[in-house]
Structure 1
Amino acid sequence: MRLKRRYLITVIVGCFVSWNLLTYYMLTSKQPIKEPQTVKDQQQIETKLSQLEREITNQLKNNEDLLKDLKHLKNDISSATSPPPELHEDIPKDDVLPILMFACNRVTVSRSLDQLLKYRPSAEKFPIIVTQDCGHQPTATVIKQYVEKHGVKHIQQPDLREISLPWPQRKFVGYYKIARHYKWALNQIFLAFNYSAVIIVEDDLDISPDFYEYFSATYPLLKEDPHLWCVSAWNDNGKANLVSDEPELLYRSDFFPGLGWMIERSLWLELGPKWPETFWDDWMRHPGQRQGRECIRPEICRTSTFGKKGVSNGLFYEKHLKYIKLNEKSVPFTKIDLSYLKKETYDKNFVKKVYDAPLMTVTEVVLAAKPELPAARVQYNNKNDFKAAAKKLGIMDDYKAGVPRSAYRGVVSFVFRGRRIYLAPPQTWKAYDPTWS
């Protein structure tokens, strides 16, 4: 691989030098210009000189562009051929679940790395790779300490060029850079390092003690079930007052949650070639990408964020994100039978549980009527019904491509003052309406 890389760079440099020699020869081998005899001769000479000046200017610009392209190509080749973390011989490559941490300019990346290392049961099964954008040297220095002491791998996004946007979109430039970084880094994981799956985190996440156990146990389900396309550690309605004290509870969800999530290589081969320029997470929630597939998500989050400052300028953090409950009780998921999460079994049980629950109004739920009922169903019939009920009950009230956060078959399950509530459409529900937003 190194010989191929050197050969490719040598060929490009050779072409570059040859082109400049040829240009030099052509420019210096022109016939000497005679002294002007007439005004007409002088005009012809001036025209030729102007033309020659333009040719030299264009050639200099072409040379600069070629040098830039050569530099980017060299960086890309160097990054793409960098070997993945070494693996233990006893662990098959398909069973390895690398942790890919996205970083930029937070020196507090150490907080997330410390937790990943603290709870990690095996360095061979869970190699940690930090992919850094921004070129922020203080952050790179922090990461380097973990490379030297703990064998963490550090890769750096080579394309740090500014992205030019028209005035109304300039405020979103950060989201464009994030999407560009994600595409590059996931190409490294799946195309250069050739891993079969990856667990994706960011540099502002805390993790639960059973973070690795959770993903280890759900990985076989992800591989076997064609209706699943991700496993997430996140519950969008995971505030402490909206979840039960049952950390073992897991669900299927039509909503792509993110914030600590796992996908397989096959999915990236599908999504990578059409990856968007910006807002990649909302793009994944569109019907064209989701294609009716689902994610597994927990009752109680296995990640929480401490990143108040970022490209979103703290959007939702003070109002919502800082109240998310992080699980503190370790659950031995790999020793639990999770076959109930298989689609056919899950759908049958889920529908029965939801629509067997007694129907109550939002007002009755808020006033704690019928306290003897451990669970109740609140029905919504349209978008406005859902939003009004969600606001009164304290859950997220927005949609993405018509899907409410954490919903499955249109149903959002949560706890309100100690009672399980299902905010659900009529039982005749067939599909989401992507126009709901």
Structure 2
Amino acid sequence: MRSRKVLLIVGFLITWTYATYYLLLRNTGVNLSRAQAHQMYRLNVEARDANKKSHDMAKNLLQLVKTKYDQAQTVSTPQISIVAAEISGEMLEQPVAKQTPAPIPTRTYMGNGEPVFPVLVFACNRVSVKKCIDNLIEYRPSMEQFPIIVSQDCGDENTKGVIQSFGNQVTLIEQPDQSDIKVLPKERKFKGYYKIARHYGWALNTTFKVGFDFAIIVEDDLNVAPDFFEYFLGTHKLLKQDPSLWCVSAWNDNGKAAVVDASKPELLYRTDFFPGLGWMLTKKLWSELSVKWPKSFWDDWIRHPAQRKHRVCIRPEISRTRTFGKIGVSNGLFFDKYLKHIKLSEDFVQFTKINMSHLLKDNYDKTFVQSVYTYPIVTYDELRRNLIAAEGPVRIQYTTREQYKRITKMLGLMDDFKSGVPRTAYHGIVSFFYNKRRVHLAPNANWKGYDLSWS
């Protein structure tokens, strides 16, 4: 289409040149003074020069168009556009110059003694990372306290350009090892997970070697809530105070709108299940994990008892992250059924003003775990039909893997296990909201621990 437009412009200019030349000759009288004759001669020469230039330009354009269609591997469109601009005088839209990202920050603590929390965004080849970064910048309270470090794998130039367009609002680091990973034939379809594990290991090493005590990990397909940063500011001290805690996550695996209490955005839990999807860890934990970091499936590896060592994470009632990335190495696993229905908190909770001591292990086990077993036992049918006379929380009891999976499917909860641990569980207890009532899906009171064979 652009080639046709260019040819029309050139044709018009050539026609105009010849017409001008012809009219000049016709309108020139025979009784010319010396000065008039000299002027006419000069105009005649200029007209012929213009005609020659137009003719040469047309030949060049035709040759470029021929090259474009005859040799598909040679992209000539930009050259045609430049020539057309010279002829027509049009000002074509120029590409935006790539801005220079900020260097890796070296400041690890603020002047008031609070830590700096690098937000490490993992990216590869999805230009939709722009949505993630836009969202982070929108809610970031301080560029200095929450520097955004985007770590890119894959070497995709379009994605890199998007990241660079943010200029010094972000730092771009690039995973240098783009070599192929050799895997067994039966694991070729999982090669993407090997690359992800390699990327995570390199990026976390690169970030923590600066000296930061904490890091917040975000994938490139996540949106965050307005109080995302406030959430981590209010909970980070727990990771230092309680050795039984090893992460704070912004994600609730059972965070669908139908099974959370929207009136309790401040509600937080302890969970034995590692949630991921927007989470914070310490330099001390990374020092422990980095020396044995796996070659693939790092998230399943981290959930194994050999790594977890009975440690737990903090997670919210209402998620502070939500994924918009259906397409990825997991091929949309769980997306349509669960992930796209996760409720993202819209409230701003001042977590830094809340006393978090109730989440410390000794306090939590006394107030939460013990209280769960004081609540009346009901059946799913009674809960569904709202046949429970008593007000307040209730408990549904399970004793086998099959019973657990059957109940969770009926309730619309995620029913899988990782290393024997149900999603969101603490001491086997999965808490949710149903028919305007707090419900705890819990094992027997004499529960002995998780069973790996349930996975």
Give the TM-score of the pair, scaled to structure 2: 0.76
Say if 2:141 is the partner of 1:156.
no
Q: Which residue of 2 aligns with 1:385?
A: 403
Q: Which residue of 2 aligns with 1:204?
A: 221
* Cα 1:349/1:275, change in 2 over 3 Å: same
Matches within 5 A, 1:203-242: 203-242=220-259
Q: Which residue of 2 aligns with 1:296?
A: 314
Q: Partners in 2 of 1:368 and 1:113 — Cα distance?
A: 44
Query: What letter matches 2:275 in structure 1?
Result: P
| Other structure's SS at 1:356 match | coil
| Other structure's SS at 1:177 match | helix
Q: Partners in 2 of 1:89 and 1:313 — Cα distance?
A: 40
Q: Runs of 5+ in structure 2 lacking a partner?
A: 1-101
Q: Which residue of 2 aligns with 1:270?
A: 288
Deviations 1:107-162 (A, max 9, x none): 111111111111111111111100000000000011111134x2x11000000111
Question: Which of 307, 311, 317 is 2:325 aligned to?
Answer: 307
* Cα 1:368/1:139, change in 2 over 3 Å: same
Q: Partners in 1 of 2:255 and 2:110 — Cα distance?
A: 38
Q: Partners in 1 of 2:386 and 2:186 — Cα distance?
A: 47
The CA deviation at 1:86 is 4.8
Contact 1:93 1:195 in 2 (8 A): no
Contact 1:93 1:196 in 2 (8 A): no
Question: Which of 363, 368, 377 is 1:350 aligned to?
Answer: 368
Identity of aligned residues (%): 56
Q: Partners in 2 of 1:230 and 1:219 — Cα distance?
A: 9
Q: Which residue of 2 aligns with 1:414?
A: 432
For structure 1, which segment, 138-147 or 174-183, has the greater mean C-alpha deviation from structure 2 after superposition? 138-147
The CA deviation at 1:367 is 2.0
Say if 2:129 is the partner of 1:112.
no
Q: Partners in 2 of 1:89 and 1:291 — Cα distance?
A: 30
Q: Partners in 1 of 2:174 and 2:217 — Cα distance?
A: 16
The CA deviation at 1:183 is 0.4
Q: Which residue of 2 aligns with 1:280?
A: 298
The CA deviation at 1:352 is 2.8
Q: Partners in 1 of 2:185 and 2:397 — Cα distance?
A: 44
The CA deviation at 1:89 is 7.8
Q: Partners in 2 of 1:319 and 1:403 — Cα distance?
A: 20
Q: Which residue of 1 aligns with 2:165?
A: 145
Query: What letter matches 2:194 in structure 1?
Result: Y
The CA deviation at 1:420 is 1.1
Question: Which of 325, 328, 342 is 2:343 aligned to?
Answer: 325
The CA deviation at 1:90 is 4.4
| Other structure's SS at 2:391 match | coil
Q: Which residue of 2 aligns with 1:84?
A: 104
The CA deviation at 1:384 is 1.2
| Other structure's SS at 2:373 match | helix
Q: Which residue of 1 aligns with 2:183?
A: 165
Q: Which residue of 1 aligns with 2:142?
A: 122
Q: Which residue of 1 aligns with 2:120?
A: 100
For structure 1, which segment, 298-307 or 333-342, has the greater mean C-alpha deviation from structure 2 after superposition? 333-342
Query: What letter matches 2:154 in structure 1?
Result: C
Q: Partners in 2 of 1:430 and 1:234 — Cα distance?
A: 27
Q: Partners in 2 of 1:218 and 1:419 — Cα distance?
A: 27
Q: Partners in 2 of 1:88 and 1:430 — Cα distance?
A: 42
The CA deviation at 1:85 is 1.5
| Other structure's SS at 1:130 match | strand
Matches within 5 A, 1:186-201: 186-191=204-209, 193-201=210-218
| Other structure's SS at 2:452 match | coil
Contact 1:91 1:124 in 2 (8 A): no
* Cα 1:138/1:340, change in 2 over 3 Å: same
Matches within 5 A, 1:173-192: 173-191=191-209
The CA deviation at 1:92 is 7.0
| Other structure's SS at 1:101 match | strand
Query: What letter matches 1:109 in structure 2?
Result: V
Contact 1:88 1:124 in 2 (8 A): no
Deviations 1:369-414 (A, max 9, x none): 1154332100001111111111111111111011000000100000
Q: Partners in 2 of 1:111 and 1:89 — Cα distance?
A: 28
Deviations 1:232-272 (A, max 9, x none): 00000000001002100000000000000000001111011
* Cα 1:384/1:107, change in 2 over 3 Å: same
RMSD across aligned C-alpha pairs, in angstroms?
1.5
Matched positions, count: 353
Q: Partners in 1 of 2:384 and 2:157 — Cα distance?
A: 52
Query: What letter matches 1:429 in structure 2?
Result: W
Deviations 1:331-361 (A, max 9, x none): 0010111111111011101123211111101
Contact 2:118 2:216 in 1 (8 A): yes
Q: Runs of 5+ in structure 1 lacking a partner?
A: 1-81
Q: Partners in 2 of 1:302 and 1:322 — Cα distance?
A: 14
Query: What letter matches 1:137 in structure 2?
Result: E
Query: What letter matches 1:404 in structure 2?
Result: P
Matches within 5 A, 1:418-433: 418-433=436-451
* Cα 1:421/1:102, change in 2 over 3 Å: same
Contact 2:225 2:344 in 1 (8 A): yes
Query: What letter matches 1:135 in structure 2?
Result: G
Q: Partners in 1 of 2:247 and 2:108 — Cα distance?
A: 26
Q: Partners in 1 of 2:161 and 2:290 — Cα distance?
A: 30
| Other structure's SS at 1:435 match | helix
The CA deviation at 1:421 is 0.9
